[in-house]
Amino acid sequence: MELYRNIIEELKTWKRNPGRKPLILKGARQTGKTWILEYFGRTEFKYTVKFNFDKDHSIHEIFEMTKEPSRIISQLSLLTDYPILPNETLLIFDEIQECNSALNSLKYFYEDSPEYVVVAAGSLLGVALTKGESFPVGKVDFLDLYPLTFKEFLKTANEKLYNYLEELSEISALPQFITDRLSELYQQYLVIGGMPAVINSFLENKGMEKVKKEQQAILNAYILDFSKHAENKDIPRIIHIWNSISSQLAKENRKFVYKMVKPGARARDYEDALLWLESAGLIYRVFCTTKPFLPLKAYDDLSAFKVYLSDVGLLRELSGLPPEAIFLGNETYTEFKGAVAENYVLQSLAPQYDILPRYWTSLGKAEVDFIIQSDSDIIPVEVKAQTRLGGKSLSVYDATYHPVCKLRYSLNNLKQDGTLINIPLYLADWTRKIISFIS
């Protein structure tokens, strides 16, 4: 079964742009970067040529010997059976972070040979780019690839339901037979998450054990990346942080606490390790905002933040949460249920907004799960894992800042009550669209 990926449309837009630059596709390991670029090449170009800098180190020499695109193309042409032609061949540089000279060459492709269509990708490209020596700013375009969203999973698994939701035009309750099916698919997504190999195993009915094995293989690959690519001093710190994420999120107050990483741990000793995980696309760091004003990131309290995983399915497997706890429910699965729902909502909001959400607290009186910057509006967000509501945090925020609207995600139906919009969790990927319906 071929997975639907929305980023294909963004790649087509990039291709049509007359002022396009070489493109860098960023994303965590196993999110499907290589597959997407090869699919893009097959469907949009006459030829596709791929060079992998991790598998074939002999390619490095070409880029270390010259910076001229014409000479690079001439030599690369000797290594492929397909022609490398301006505008007709998609030239893929895979695992480009393994060759700094190749990264640097993108500048010269833009300046001297823009007629060649060049895309680059790599599992740890975000980490490589933090070093600041790869290429000048402004010479490349960027796209971020995330795990499949619930919306992408839904289009692959049940296109009729997906099309129904795409046609929503107002805030009104959905029929129960629709909500029942969407709730079931939402639970499935919490278990499997959005990693392509995992979703394929699930949709091909290979069984939950195969799903778990795929997730464990990805988690093991991440651990190997820590050991292979991080600075020696940071490796144990990265592992300590990684292993503490589940317990950090299990707290009622999910603020990241260094002493839960390791007794006596200090912030300055772990900042590089956190940045590595963040740059690798494995975690989200959600900062507390001191004031929910524009621009949102200008009011970050850098000492207060929460850490979530980039994929809710991997969070479930990393935490050792059995799939049946989500499918069937369990009396002991109550506190962590909220953390899973929050991780899911954040994973949904991140691709929709340019600014990553923040969270807000009020002197211990209230805490709003997320704050989003939607165009020129600052909107508070509350996440409830089930249908039971309650809590006063949104009311405290409303009385203080009077936002244009407030969002509550839960398993209740789509509904507007004054400025409060209840969005079913399975509609989180349609948040921007739903906000546009507010009158």
Mean pLDDT of the chain: 95
- Give the C-alpha separation, 145 to 10, whole Å: 11
Other Cβ atoms closer than 10 A to 11: 22
Task: Check pLDDT > 80 for residue 209.
Answer: yes
CB 372 within 8 Å of CB 435: no
DSSP string over 244-271: HHHHHHHSSS----GGGTSTT--HHHHH
Q: Which of 33-47, 206-220, 388-402 has the lowest mean pLDDT?
A: 388-402
359-399 tens-digit pLDDT: 999 977 899 999 999 999 999 999 999 988 877 899 999 99
**Four-point Cα dihedral 40, 351, 335, 303, nearest 10:** 130
Please state whether beta strands 300-309 and 283-289 pair in parallel, antiparallel, or not at all (unpaired): antiparallel
pLDDT tens per residue, range 238-255:
999 999 999 999 998 999
116-173 residue pLDDT tens: 999 999 888 888 777 756 566 789 999 999 999 999 999 999 999 999 999 999 999 9
Closest listed residue to residue 23, CA positions, set 110, 83, 131, 99:
110
Q: What pTM did the predictor assign? A: 0.95
Structural domains in the chain plus CATH codes: 7-144 (3.40.50), 150-436 (no CATH)
146 contacts 6 by C-beta, under 8 angstroms: no
Judged against a pLDDT cut of 90, whether residue 203 lies above it is answered with yes
Across the range 285-303, mean pLDDT stands at: 97
How far is 150 from 165, CA to CA, in rounded Å?
12
d(CA 204, CA 302): 44
- Which whole-number Å values give the CA distances from 414 to 173, 177, 243, 431, in the listed order? 5, 14, 37, 11
Tokens at residue 165, please? 């939701």
